[in-house]
Amino acid sequence: MSAELKAPRGTHDVLPDDAARRDAVEEAARRILGAAGYRRIETPAFEATELFARGVGASTDIVQKEMYTFEDGSGRSLTLRPEGTAPVCRAYVEHGMQKLPQPVKLWYLSSFFRYERAQAGRQRQFWQVGTEAIGSADPALDAESIVLLAELLDALGVRELRLRLSSLGTLETRAAYRQELQAYLHAHADRLSDEVRGRIETNPLRAFDADHPGTREAMAGAPLLLDRLTGEDAEHFAAVRALLDGAGLVYEVDATLVRGLDYYMRTVFEFTSDALGAQSGVGGGGRYDGLVEQLGGPATPGVGWAAGIERMLLAADAHAVAAPIVDLFVAYAREQDRAAGFQIAHEARRAGLGAQLELAGRSLKGQLKQADRIGARFVAILGEEGATVKDMESGEQHVVELGGVVHQVLRARRLS
Ligand code: HAM
pLDDT, position 59:
84
Choose one of 126, 267, 300, 314 to mutate for the ligand 1 pocket test, by most ligand atoms within 8 angstroms of C-beta.
Answer: 126
User: Domain of 153: which CATH number?
Assistant: 3.30.930.10
* CB 356 within 8 Å of CB 331: no
The answer, yes or no, to whether any atom of ligand 1 lies below 6 A from the CB of 84, is yes
In a domain, 188, yes or no: no
Q: Write out pLDDT tens, residues 195-208.
A: 999 999 988 988 98
Residues 237 and 383 in one domain: no
Q: Write out pLDDT tens, residues 137-176.
A: 999 999 999 999 999 999 999 999 999 999 999 888 888 9
- Is the pLDDT assigned to residue 227 strictly greater than 80? yes
Residues 267 and 405 in one domain: no
Average pLDDT, the chain: 95
The answer, yes or no, to whether any atom of ligand 1 lies below 6 A from the CB of 327, is no
pLDDT, position 213:
94
The contacts of residue 352 (CB under 8 Å, 6+ apart) are none
The answer, yes or no, to whether any atom of ligand 1 lies below 6 A from the CB of 287, is no
Q: Write out pLDDT tens, residues 37-64.
A: 999 999 999 999 999 999 999 888 999 9
Query: How many Å lie between the centroid of ligand 1 and the Cα of residue 97?
Result: 25
The order of strands in the sheet holding 355-357 is 355-357, 328-332, 378-383, 386-391, 397-400
In a domain, 20, yes or no: yes
Residues 348 and 272 in one domain: no
The answer, yes or no, to whether any atom of ligand 1 lies below 6 A from the CB of 381, is no
Choose one of 43, 63, 83, 280 to mutate for the ligand 1 pocket test, by most ligand atoms within 8 angstroms of C-beta.
Answer: 83
Smallest CA separation from ligand 1 atom 17, residue: 122
- Is the pLDDT assigned to residue 319 strictly greater than 90? no
Residues 347 and 309 in one domain: no
d(CA 62, CA 84): 13
Smallest CA separation from ligand 1 atom 30, residue: 305
Query: How many Å lie between the centroid of ligand 1 and the Cα of residue 306?
Result: 5
Residues 25 and 82 in one domain: yes
Crossing angle (nearest 10°) for helices 405-415 and 338-350:
50
In a domain, 189, yes or no: no
In a domain, 239, yes or no: yes
H or E stretch including 173?
helix 171-187
Domain boundary among 269, 284, 315: 315
User: Domain of 403: which CATH number?
Assistant: 3.40.50.800
Domain boundary among 267, 293, 315: 315
d(CA 88, CA 394): 54
In a domain, 61, yes or no: yes
Angle at 77 (CA atoms; ends 72, 82), nearest 5 degrees: 105
Domain boundary among 315, 347, 372: 315
- Is the pLDDT assigned to residue 321 strictly greater than 70? no
Residues 272 and 404 in one domain: no
pLDDT, position 200:
94
Range of the domain at 257: 3-169+229-315
Query: How many Å lie between the centroid of ligand 1 and the Cα of residue 406?
Result: 49
The answer, yes or no, to whether any atom of ligand 1 lies below 6 A from the CB of 284, is yes
In a domain, 264, yes or no: yes
In a domain, 201, yes or no: no
d(CA 36, CA 382): 52
Residues 19 and 108 in one domain: yes
Residues 293 and 351 in one domain: no
Residues 282 and 393 in one domain: no
The answer, yes or no, to whether any atom of ligand 1 lies below 6 A from the CB of 128, is yes
* Residues 181-190, mean pLDDT to the nearest whole number: 96
The model's pTM: 0.90
Query: How many Å lie between the centroid of ligand 1 and the Cα of residue 285?
Result: 8
The contacts of residue 129 (CB under 8 Å, 6+ apart) are 25, 26, 29, 107, 108, 109, 152, 306, 307, 309
- 107 beta partners: 40, 131
Residues 268 and 392 in one domain: no
* Residue whose C-alpha is closest to residue 33's, from 145, 162, 161: 145
d(CA 367, CA 390): 13
Q: How many domains does the chain have?
A: 2
Residues 287 and 358 in one domain: no
Query: How many Å lie between the centroid of ligand 1 and the Cα of residue 259?
Result: 10
* CB 225 within 8 Å of CB 266: no
* Closest atom, ligand 1, to C-alpha of 304: 33
* Closest atom, ligand 1, to C-alpha of 123: 20
Peptide bond into 324 cis (omega under 30): no
In a domain, 383, yes or no: yes
The answer, yes or no, to whether any atom of ligand 1 lies below 6 A from the CB of 87, is no
Residues 337 and 304 in one domain: no
Neighbours of 149 (CB within 10 A): 27
* Closest atom, ligand 1, to C-alpha of 132: 33
